[in-house]
């Protein structure tokens, strides 16, 4: 039996925080539950070949963080059954500029839920995030 995971069932709970001293306050949230607390909107872009392989992106809207300090973008992912050629990655944008694509997991199954936290410099005024899953359909 082959176990196949849809790439974006593997991502959950995106948080955008800022800290104004020791306490943290949430600026935006997306838990993919379609609840009132899901206020960080995103646009999905799926490109799958017969549902077995391809790439999927979630592009999150730009958020204004001007005047905030200690901003962090944080998300969790879980990958199950990833093999050669499969990967999850993210790309953060500060003030419209890419901070580079970072591969979070490749050719492997994660060890449960994994958290990624991105520190945003205090001088940044806007942030945006793109999450990408690539699956080659192999097994």
| Per-residue confidence (pLDDT) for residue 44, from 0 to 100 | 76
Report domain extents, the chain: 7-135
Q: Residue 80 has what pLDDT?
A: 76
Q: What is the CA radius of gyration of the chain?
A: 16
d(CA 58, CA 41): 10
Residue pair 52/2 in contact (Cβ under 8 Å)? The answer is no
Q: Determine the Cα–Cα distance for residues 37 and 46; give it in Å rounded to an integer.
A: 25
Top-tier CATH class for 7-135 = mainly beta
Give pLDDT, residue 130.
93
For residue range 74-128, what is the model confidence (pLDDT) as tens digits? 888 877 777 777 888 899 999 999 999 988 777 677 778 888 889 999 999 999 9
Segment 12-57, tens digit of pLDDT: 444 444 443 344 667 776 767 676 676 777 887 777 655 566 778 8
pLDDT at position 128, please?
94
Rounded to an integer, the average pLDDT of 47-70 is 80
What is residue 54's predicted lDDT score, i.e. its pLDDT? 74
User: Residue 134: CA atoms inside 13 Å, Cβ hemisphere, count?
Assistant: 12
């Amino acid at each position: 039996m082959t176990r196949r995971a849809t790439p974006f069932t593997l991502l959950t709970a995106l948080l955008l925080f800022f800290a104004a001293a020791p306490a943290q306050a949430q600026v935006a949230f997306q838990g993919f539950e379609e609840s009132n607390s899901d206020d960080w909107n995103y646009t999905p872009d799926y490109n799958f070949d017969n549902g077995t392989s391809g790439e999927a992106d979630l592009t999150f809207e730009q958020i204004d963080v001007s005047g905030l300090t200690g901003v962090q973008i944080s998300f969790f992912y879980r990958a199950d059954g990833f093999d050669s050629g499969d990967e999850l990655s993210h790309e953060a944008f500060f003030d419209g500029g890419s901070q580079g694509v970072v591969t979070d997991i490749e050719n492997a199954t994660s060890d449960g839920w994994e958290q990624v936290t991105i520190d945003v410099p205090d001088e940044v005024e806007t942030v945006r995030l793109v999450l990408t899953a690539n699956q080659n359909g192999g097994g």
